[in-house]
Amino acid sequence: MIKLFGNKRLIMSLISLIIVIALMGVTLGNRGAVTWPEKMLQDTVAWLQGLIYKPAGYIAGFFEDISTLGQLRRENEVLKRTLSHYARDTARLNVLKAENERLKDLLNFTERQKSDELIYRVARVVAINHDGYNNVFKIDLGANDGIRESMAVVTPEGLIGRVIRVAEFSSNVLMLTDINDQSMNSRGISVTSMEHPDSFGVIESYDHETGYLIMSKIKQEDPLRVGDTVITSGLGGTYPPGLIVGTVVSRREGTFGITHVAEIKPAANMDMTGLREVLVVERAGEGANP
């Protein structure tokens, strides 16, 4: 009760003070000088007003900050969506640019080969099978497109494999890395040197540790040299002549010293996970449907 009474007295004092100030404002309207008690009273009122208005200002600023924070969050969400769309469109553009460059390379390659009696059919790689035993990939061309088993498959860089199975609208291609002289199903590749046409050898295996093809059956007097470009000779009938295989990086005596062996660095990238398009090589009239 005493506390309530004290509060009432304080409230009444403040009301009285406000009334006095108001009266002073009216009476001092035409006065030029202000007395010392009036100055003191004016300063006291200003101090009390500061106590009242400062918390009110803080509260107003707090709610204004909350409103600004909400607006910033909304703007942030809009920016995130815009950035996501930009990243998606950029990725699509990069994919299209890369595909365009690959197709240009294929077109330039086929234009350069027009003098050969060969037809190059562009095929897309639609699936790969890399199980550690067989490196096979599937292309979107088949018997309906004139594809036949044993046709050579290349990239603009060089020979990469051969067709081993043909369906109506797709075919399986065995990578050059699966060539193995210990396998009954493997076929050696008769090759020669672009710089020394009298050279002869057979690609019979692939060294998975070094990434080199092994060329054997090289005569001791064969002119093959390190740095020579190895190409298919056309002998054997499977591969047409003139397809680039790779570059000679070393030459040494064979196991019995009768013939020599050379290591060939493949011209084409043998990592089939990066393949997107390839070229199926067809001799004139070879792929014609009966």
Task: Identify the residue with better confidence: 231 or 54.
Answer: 231
Please report which confidence band the pLDDT of residue 108 belongs to, taking 50, 70 and 90 as the band edges: low
CB-based contacts of 234: which residues, under 8 Å, 6+ apart?
190, 240, 241, 242
Q: What pLDDT is stored for residue 126 in this prediction? A: 94
189's enclosing H/E stretch is strand 189-193
Whose CA is closest to 281, among 105, 120, 112? 120
Please state the rounded mean pLDDT for residues 198-219: 94
The answer to whether residue 112 scores a pLDDT higher than 70 is: no
Please report which confidence band the pLDDT of residue 23 belongs to, taking 50, 70 and 90 as the band edges: low
Collapsing DSSP to helix, strand or coil, 236 comes out as coil
118 close to 284: Cβ distance less than 8 angstroms? yes
Q: Which span out of 32-36, 45-49, 279-283 was modeled with the highest average pLDDT? A: 279-283
The answer to whether residue 38 scores a pLDDT higher than 70 is: no
Please state the rounded mean pLDDT for residues 5-28: 58
What's the chain's average pLDDT? 78
- Summarised one tens digit per residue, pLDDT across range 179-201 is 887 766 678 899 999 999 999 99
| Percentage helix, strand, coil for the chain under 3-state DSSP, each rounded to 5 | 40, 30, 30
Residue 27: what residue type? T
Q: Where are the domains of the chain?
A: 43-112, 118-283
Q: Which span out of 41-55, 70-84, 121-135, 141-155 was modeled with the highest average pLDDT? A: 141-155
The answer to whether residue 68 scores a pLDDT higher than 50 is: yes
Please state the rounded mean pLDDT for residues 127-155: 89
- Summarised one tens digit per residue, pLDDT across range 245-262 is 999 999 999 888 899 999
HSE-CB of 171 using CA atoms within 13 angstroms: 29
Q: What pLDDT is stored for residue 132 in this prediction? A: 63
Q: What CATH architecture applies to the domain 118-283?
A: Beta Barrel (2.40)
Q: What pLDDT is stored for residue 118 in this prediction? A: 82
